Amino acid sequence: MRRHPPTSGTVTSGERDATQPQVRDQAEPSLSNATNRVDSGEAGQITLTVNGVTHHVDVADDTLLLDALREAVGVTSVREGCGVGACGACTVLTGGTSVSSCLALALRYDGAEITTAEGLDENDDVVSSFVECGAAQCGYCIPGFVLMSAELLAENPRPSEQDITDHLEGNICRCGTYPEIRRAVAVAAERRSPK
């Protein structure tokens, strides 16, 4: 499954067919935003509730949710790996739904409740399973996998191996920690809803 590119003002959008080729179809391409700042003005202040703490953040029309979180809120587990929605390092949960924050305009998340990996308790089933299974090498990609896994288990408490693969295939781990990640998700599922 792919994380949701924001296509409307709401933070939940439809799922997409994972077999579709990845295309640059989002309304506001992030990269050209970064290089086309000239016409953008200050758009004002939004409110983001991040891991339970409310922040008032000044943003421009083209400020990405990724940048608002990293630079204004000070969250560092949300990371830019590609800027085009193809790696999952920038994943956050809004209202429990995964979003690629590198494709999301901050303005559209005014009032949103956002969870990042820092916001999960260290005893959380997913976090503790990842730790126990050694599911992190450099670890740079792992917060994104943790949030995708949390989303999966909320929707599907007993995922099959195929379900896990389907849900995590949009995230890239260049260290190749996939076997450990897959095991960690299975362990977390078992822990949360023992058979």
Partner 1 sequence: MREIEQSWVGGSRPRFDTAGRVRGMIAHVGDQAVGAAAHVAVHRATQPHARIEAVHVDEALAMPGVYGVVTGADLYKQLGDRLLTGPAFADQPALAHEKVRYVGEPVAAVLAADLATARAATDAIWVDYEDLPPVYDLADALAGTAYVHDELRPSSVFGDLKHLRGVRDTNVNYTYNLRTGDAEAARDAGAHTVTGEFWAPPTHHVPIELPCTIAWVDSGRLEMLTTTQTPSYVRQTIADLLDLPLSRVRVTTRPLGGSFGAKMYDRLEPLAAALAWTAGRRVRVTATREEAFLLTTRHGAAVSSSLTADAEGNLVSSVADVRYDTGAYADVGPRITAKSGMVAPGPYRIANARVLSRCVYTNKPSAGPFRGFGVPQVTWSHESLIDELAHELGEDPYAFRRRHLLREGDEAPMGTRMHSADFVGCLDAVANAIGWFDPLDRGTGRIRRGRGVAVGVKAVLTPTIANAVLQLNQDNSATLLISTVDMGQGSDTIMAQIAADVLRMDSRRIHVVRADTDATPYDTITAGSRSTYHTGNAVRRVAEAMRDKLIGLAAERFGVPAEEVSLTPDGPRAGSHEVTVAELVHGHFGARGATLTTEANYTSSWTPYDKETGRSDKVTEHWFAGAVGARIAVDTATGRVRIEHLAVAGDVGRAINPTLVEQQLSGAAIMGIGHALFDQLVLDQGQLINGTLLDYQLPSIRDLPDQLTPIVVESPHDDGPFGAKGVGETGILGVAPAIANAVRDAVGVRLTRLPLTPESITMALEENQ
* 57-86 positions binding ligand FES, by CB under 6 A: 80-83, 85-86
Nearest to 129 by CA among 194, 186, 91, 195: 186
Decide if residue 165 touches partner 1 (CB under 8 A): yes
Name which position in 156, 172, 183, 190 contacts partner 1 (CB under 8 A): 172
CB atoms within 10 A of CB 134: 11
The CA distance from 133 to 63, in Å, is 37
Q: Using CB under 6 A, count the residues that bind ligand FES.
A: 23
The tokens describing 187, both together, are 């362990």
Decide if residue 125 touches partner 1 (CB under 8 A): no
Contact 65, 105 (CB under 8 A): yes
We find the least distance from the C-beta atom of residue 91 to ligand FES, in angstroms, to be: 7
Lookup result for tokens 């587990």? 77
- Give the residue with the Cβ less far from ligand FES, 158 or 174: 174
Lookup result for tokens 């990609």? 141
Which stretch, 3-11, 92-100, 125-133, 150-158, contacts partner 1 (CB under 8 A)? 125-133
Residue 90 interacts with which of partner 1, ligand FES, none, CB < 5 to 8 Å by class: ligand FES
Name which position in 73, 84, 107, 186 contacts partner 1 (CB under 8 A): 84
Phi, psi torsion values for 94, nearest 5 degrees = -120, 120
